[in-house]
Amino acid sequence: MQHSPQVRQSRQEHARVLQGVVLLGFGLVALGLMRLQVAQHVQYLELSKENHVRLEVLRAPRGAIFDRNGQLLADSAPSFNVVYRPFPAESLALRRLVRSDAWTRRVARALMADTAEVRRLVAGAGSGGQTVVLRRNAPFEVRAAVEETREELQGIEVVVEPLRRYAHGTLAAHLLGYAGEINDVELDSLGSQGYRPGDLIGRSGVERSYEEMLRGQDGAEFVVVNAAGQRVSTLTEGPPRLPTAGHDLILTVDLAVQQALEQAMADVQRGAAVALDPRDGSVLAMVSRPAFDPNEFSVGISFTRWRELTAGGENPLLNRAIQGMYPPGSTFKVVTMLSALENHVASPQTRLQPCFGRYQFGARSFMCWKHEGHGSLDFIGAIEHSCDVYFYQIGPRLGLDHLEETAKALGLGERTGIDLPQEKKGLIPSEAWYDRRWGAGKMPKGTLLNLAIGQGEILVTPIQLAMMLAEVAVDGQPSRPHVVREVRGVAHPKHDKQGRSRLEASAEAWSAVHEGLERVVATGTGTAAKVPGVRVAGKTGTAQNPHGKDHALFVCYAPAENPTIAISVVVENSGHGGSIAAPMARVALAELFLPDSLKHAVAARVPARAAADTSGGVSGD
Amino acid sequence: MAIKLPGRLPEIDLPLALAALGLVVVGLLMVYSATSLPGAHEGLWSKQLMWAFVALGAAWLVAAIDHRVYDSLAWPLYGVALLMLVAVLVFGSSAYGAKRWLDIGPIKFQPSELAKIATVLVLARRFDDPKVKLHRFAQWLPAMIIAFLPFALVLKEPDLGTALSFPVILIAMLYWGGMPLRQLVLGLTPVMNAGLFFFTGSGLWFGGLFVGLVVLLRPRWPALVALVLLNGAVSIATPHVWSHLHDYQKRRIETFLNPGDDPYGSGYQIIQSKIAMGSGGIAGKGYLKGSQKALAFLPMRHTDFIYSVVGEELGLIGTLTVVILYALLVLRGLRLAVVSRNRFASLVAVGIVTALFYHIMVNMLMTIGWAPVTGLPLPLISYGGTALIVNGIEIGLLQNVALRRHEF
Using one digit for the tens of pLDDT, what is the confidence trace for A3-27?
577 777 888 888 999 999 999 999 9
Judge whether A330 counts as a catalytic residue: yes
Q: Which residues in chain A have their CB less than 8 angstroms from residue B341's CB?
A: 3
**Is B252 in the A-facing interface, judged by CB distances under 8 Å?**
yes
Tell me phi and psi for residue A294, to 5 degrees: -60, -20
Predicted confidence at residue B3, as pLDDT, reads: 44
Residue A571, pLDDT > 60, answer yes
Percentage of chain A beyond pLDDT 70 is 89
pLDDT tops 50 at residue A617 = no
**pLDDT band per the 50, 70, 90 thresholds, residue A496:** low
Distance in angstroms between the alpha carbons of the first and the last residue of chain A: 101
CA–centroid distance for A386 within its chain: 33
Instruction: Look at residue A183 and tell me whether its pLDDT is greater than 90.
Output: no
Q: What is the pLDDT of residue B330?
A: 97
Q: Which of A28, A44, A219 sits opposite B279 (nearest CB)?
A: A44
pLDDT reading at B289 higher than 80 = no
Kindly state whether B86 is in contact with chain A, defined as any CB-CB distance less than 8 angstroms.
no
Range in A132-141, A193-202, B162-171 with the lowest mean pLDDT: A193-202
Confidence at residue A620, expressed as pLDDT on a 0 to 100 scale: 41
Given this model, what pLDDT does residue B221 score?
A: 83
Whether residue B185 contacts residue B213, with contact meaning beta carbons closer than 8 Å, is answered with yes
Q: Which of A282, A298, A330, A568 is catalytic?
A: A330
Query: Does the beta-carbon distance from A238 to B267 stay under 8 Å?
Result: yes
* H helices present in B296-342, as ranges: 306-339
Q: A90 in contact with B at a CB cutoff of 8 Å?
A: yes
The type of residue at A303 is: F
The answer for B 40-79 residues in CB contact with A (under 8 A) is 40
Among all residues of chain B, which has the CA nearest to that of A185? B97
Chain B residues with CB-CB distance to A40 below 8 A = 278
Best to test chain A binding among B41, B128, B174, B247 (most A CBs inside 10 Å): B247
8 Å CB contact between A501 and A448? no
pLDDT-based confidence at residue B107 (cuts at 50, 70, 90): low
Per the model's pLDDT, the better-predicted residue between A341 and A118 turns out to be A341
In this prediction, residue B355 carries a pLDDT of 96
CA B373/CA B392 separation, integer angstroms: 25
CB-CB under 8 Å, B292 with A90: yes
Q: Residue B337 in 3-state DSSP?
A: helix
Question: Given this model, what pLDDT does residue A618 score?
Answer: 35
Facing A44 at nearest CB: one of B97, B264, B275: B275
pLDDT of A363-394, one tens digit each? Answer: 889 999 999 999 999 999 999 999 999 999 99
Q: What is the C-alpha separation between B56 and B28, in angstroms, rounded? A: 14
Rg of chain A over all Cα atoms, to the nearest angstrom: 33
A31 touches chain B (CB under 8 A): no
Measured between alpha carbons, how far is A604 from B29 in angstroms, rounded to an integer? 83
**Residue pairs between chains A and B whose CB atoms are closer than 8 Å:** 184
* pLDDT reported for residue B95: 58
Report the alpha-carbon distance of residue B328 to residue B333 in Å, rounded.
8
Res B2 pLDDT > 60:
no
Instruction: List the single range of A461-475, B134-148, B263-277 with lowest mean pLDDT.
Output: B263-277
Contacts of A63 in chain B (CB under 8 A): none
Residue A50: its pLDDT value, please? 55
pLDDT tens figures, A48-88: 765 567 777 788 899 999 999 999 999 998 999 998 887 76
| A213-229 average pLDDT score | 77
Report yes or no: B320 at the A interface, CB cutoff 8 Å: yes
Alpha-carbon distance B294 to nearest alpha carbon in chain A (angstroms): 6
- Is A44 at the interface with chain B, CB within 8 A? yes
In this predicted structure, the answer to whether residue A2 has a pLDDT above a threshold of 50 is no
Q: Residue B357: what pLDDT? A: 97
Per-residue pLDDT for B110 more than 80? yes
Q: CB burial class (10 A; 0-12, 13-18, 19+) of residue A523?
A: middle
User: What integer pLDDT is reported at residue B4 of this predicted model?
Assistant: 43
SS (H, E, C) A363-382: CEEEECCCCCCCECCCHHHH
pLDDT average, residue stretch A452-481: 93
* Per-residue pLDDT, A151: 78
Q: Taking the mean position of all CA atoms in its chain, how far away is CA A341?
A: 36
Q: Note whether B240 contacts A: Cβ–Cβ < 8 A.
A: no
Q: What is the average pLDDT score of chain B?
A: 83
Beta strand A551-558 with A219-225 is unpaired
B323–chain A Cβ distance below 8 A for any pair: yes
Average pLDDT (B360-385) is: 88
Report residue B251's pLDDT band, with 50, 70 and 90 as the boundaries.
Answer: low
Candidates B284, B309, B304; CA nearest to B294 is B309
Q: Are A187 and A195 in contact (CB under 8 A)?
A: yes
Q: Which residue in the set B98, B346, B361 is minimally distant from A25, CB to CB? A: B361
Confidence (pLDDT) at B102:
73
Whether residue A413 is predicted with pLDDT greater than 90 in this model: the reply is yes
pLDDT band at residue A34 under the 50/70/90 scheme: very high
Q: CB within 8 A of B222, min separation 6: which ones?
A: none
The percentage of chain A sitting over the pLDDT mark of 90, rounded to a whole number, equals 52
- CA-based R_g, chain B, Å: 22
pLDDT at B104 exceeding the cut of 90: no
What percent of chain B shows pLDDT beyond 90?
Answer: 38
Q: How far is A64 from chain B (nearest CA, A)?
A: 17
Local confidence band at B224 (pLDDT 50, 70, 90 cut-offs): confident
Output the average pLDDT for chain A.
Answer: 86
Percentage of chain B beyond pLDDT 70 is 83
Average pLDDT over residues A412-436: 93
The strand pair at A249-251 and A65-66 is best described as parallel
